[in-house]
Amino acid sequence: MDSRQDLPTLLRRFGREECSQEPLYIALCELAADDERALALLAEAPPEQRKANLLLAALHERVLAGAAPELAAYYPSVGGERAPDAALGPALRVCLAREWPALVQHLRHGATQTNEVGRCAVIWPALGAAAQTTGARHLALLDFGCSAGLNLGVDRYRLRYRTDDGAWHERGGASVAIESRWLGAAPPPSAEADWRLTLRQGLDPAPVDVSDAARLRWLQACLWPHDARRRERLAGAAAQLANLPVTLTQAEDCIAAIAPWLRGLPAGVQPVLLTSWVLYYLNAAELARLRATVDRLALSHGLAWICGDLPALSAQAAPPPVPVLPAGEAPSSLTLWTLRHAEAGRFAEQALAWSHPHGRWVAWL
């Protein structure tokens, strides 16, 4: 959204289409759409970050910090049980007035760095597809827009898939468990893999140090307030990160940092670039530059690209048909996962899966 006049539409659409399971956010989006101070706050964000969920995350962070007691009763993440009511609007206005300086900082300089480890339910089989397609047994993974780098631990989580017949299929024995519905006839991932992650690195303009309580609180603020399971999973993954052999690199220009990473890899590893809900935040020029860079490096260095995003962004060919979704699941924000690589001097793109944006279900193709 480029103009102030567009922001009420953005907020209402987000509340209506993205927040079906979060009544508090539906109500806050409606209130913010009619509140001049809330609209002015959202307008403080750079155009590429001017999104409703950034405003919601900024408010949530103030609640988690104990700085918005008037809103806390509505937020399950801090023990609140109050349903949205007529007092929510005045409470929002009080918070905006008192916490304006901190909120403006979040909108001007923050980003919705969700780092949703639930997506590992799709990232794991996608890496297996990259290994199978390239014939590699040793993968070097670069998570582009990595936030805290939690998805770099994809092979260290316990993945549990429930198939259509009600059976559970599990791999890994870690304490951090990720559960997902596995839709369709394709078999779920095997408990054993004939490939492994040899190197793992993350790139981000502002990588999150989860040992910093304020930065970890921001990651928690990017989660929906009602979702206790995601909060617990994030906390467990953050604690586990300390024992992972990962490297997080700060880069103002993450696109330019891909080639140096490739040049520094040892021989015999297959480089894999991962983007999960990153393209959504790039402007048209940045997206075109990223695609051109990846294609060039695919030809020169064999780079494979796993991408999960809105289908119009992740697929450069026509996307496949949308699957039949589980009962109660809305079709908004469907994530399409693709694998793109160079083969005999030409580009090949394979649609791997549809999924819920947080990995709650996976329809493998």
Tens digits of residue pLDDT in 13-28: 999 988 878 999 999 9
Q: How far is CA 354 from CA 7, 259, 262, 309, 315, in A?
A: 29, 29, 29, 10, 12
> What is the predicted pLDDT for the residue at 252?
93
**Residues 85-106: pLDDT tens digits?**
999 999 999 999 999 999 999 9
User: Alpha-carbon distance 278 to 66, whole Å?
Assistant: 30
Cα separation of the two ends of the chain: 33
Helices marked H in 184-283: 213-221, 228-241, 258-263
Model pLDDT, residue 43: 95
The CA distance from 328 to 321, in Å, is: 19
Give 289-340 pLDDT, tens digit per residue. 999 999 999 999 999 999 999 999 999 989 999 988 888 777 767 999 999 9
pLDDT of residue 13: 93
- Cα(29)–Cα(263) distance, rounded to whole angstroms? 46
Residue 124: which residues within 8 A CB-CB, separation 6 or more?
154, 155, 159, 171, 189
Q: How far is CA 194 from the centre of its chain?
A: 27
| pLDDT score at 2 | 52
CA-to-CA dists, residue 266 to 136, 191, 263, 270, angstroms: 14, 28, 8, 10
Residues whose CB is less than 8 angstroms from the CB of residue 210 and which lie 6 or more positions away in sequence, other chains included: 148, 150, 216, 219, 238, 241
Distances 291 to 47, 130, 256, 317 between C-alpha atoms, Å: 21, 18, 12, 13
Antiparallel, parallel or unpaired: β 158-162 and 177-183 = parallel
As a whole number, the mean pLDDT across the chain is 93
Where in the chain are the domains?
Answer: 4-109, 117-364
Q: Quick check: 264 pLDDT over 80?
A: yes
**Structure token digits, residue 72:** 């806390």
pLDDT digits (tens, 9 = 90+) for 192-203: 899 999 999 999
Burial degree of 247 (CB within 10 A; 0-12, 13-18, 19+): middle
| Closest to 150 (Cα-Cα) out of 69, 220, 210 | 210
Residue with tokens 């193709």: 365
Nearest Cα to Cα of residue 115 among 144, 157, 139, 155: 144
Given a cut of 70, whether residue 3 has pLDDT beyond it is: no
pLDDT at position 186 over 70: yes
Q: Please say if the pLDDT value at position 286 is more than 70.
A: yes
